[in-house]
Amino acid sequence: MSNTVRGREPGVQSVDRAITLLTLLADRSEAGVSELAASLDVHKSTAFRLLGALEERGLVEQIADRGKYRLGFGLIPLAGRVAERLEVTTQGHPVCETLAERLGETVNIAIPDRGWAVNVDQARGPSMVTTFNWLGRITPMHNTSSGKVLLASVVLDDPGTMPDTVPEQGRDTLVEELRRVRRHGYAWSLEELETGLNAVAAPVVDHGGAVVAALSVSGPAYRLSAERIERITPEVVAAGREISRRMGFWRDR
C-alpha cells in the first residue's frame, strides 16, 4: 500500500506543511503549536516536529516566556538573495546609496505585497543616530509615505483595490490625500506610523510607466523636520525618476 497522503509523497508533504507553517507565521506574527496544528489539520506532535526542524535552521524561533513561535532571523539571508534578483533593487541600490550619503538619512525601496508595503532594499546615511532597520519589514499602506505612493497608483483608478488592511474610518480623507500624492508625485508621512518618525517617498515606475515601487527617505523628526522634508523632496523625486530611467522608463512624467 502506498504511503502517500492526498496524492503526495511523504517527503513532499512535509515540505508543503513546513512552507505552510512559515506562511501562517508570516500572516499571524506569532502562534502556538496547537493553533498551527489545527490550521494544518495535523496532530500537535506533527506540528511540533516540523517547528523543531525549522527552528534548528533558524527559520522560526520560540518565544520563551509565551510558548509561541514566530519567524526567525534565519530567513533574512534567504530574503536578501531574493531581493538581489529584483530589478528595482539591482537598479536602485546605487541611487539609494548616493542619496543616503548626501542626505545623511535612511533610504528604502518598498514594493506592494497583499495590501502591505514591503521594504526590499535599504541604504543608511552617515548620521550618528540612525532609524530602525527597515530591511524586510512589512509596513501599512495608509500611514507611510511609501504606502501612500503605492496606493495612489492603483486605488484612484479602481477604488475596489483598497486593501483590507486600510481602516474603514478615514478612507475618504485618505483618498483625497492620494489624489494630492498622484498630482504632486510624492507623499509625506509626519509621525503617522511612529511618533518621532518622518518620511517622504516618490514613485518608481517600470519601462511601461507602471508604479512598481516607492523610494523613501526617513529619519527622526528632530532631524528630518517638515521644513527639511520640504527642502529635500525634489531630490527624492529626482532619485525615483533616476531609478525609473535605469529600469527603462524614458518619457517625462
Q: What is the pLDDT of residues 145-195, one digit of tens each?
A: 999 999 998 888 888 888 887 888 888 899 999 999 999 999 999 999 989
Residues 94-103 have pLDDT tens digits of 999 999 999 9
133 assigned to some structural domain: yes
Residues 159 and 67 both lie in one domain: no
Which pLDDT belongs to residue 133? 74
**Residues 27 and 143 grouped into a single domain:** no
**Domain containing residue 232:** 81-246
Q: Let me know whether 27 and 98 are in one domain.
A: no
Q: What CA–CA distance (Å, rounded) separates 203 from 210?
A: 9
The verdict on pTM exceeding 0.75 is no
How confident is the chain (253 residues) per 10-residue block, as mean pLDDT? 44 84 88 90 90 90 83 78 72 94 94 88 74 75 94 86 83 92 96 93 91 94 95 97 88 49
Write down which residue in 73, 98, 116 finishes a domain: 73
Last residue of a domain, which of 29, 47, 73? 73
In a domain, 252, yes or no: no
187/206 same-domain check: yes
Q: At what angle do helices 44-56 and 10-28 cross, to 10 degrees?
A: 80
Rounded Cα gap, residues 40 and 198, in angstroms: 41
pLDDT of residue 130: 53
Mark 13-37 as b/e (b = at least 16 C-beta within 10 Å): eeeebbeebbeebeeeeebbbeebb
Residues 66 and 28 in one domain: yes
Residue 115 sits in the same domain as residue 15? no
Closest CA to 99 of 200, 213, 187: 200
Contact 93, 123 (CB under 8 A): yes
Q: Considering its fold, how many domains does the chain have in total?
A: 2
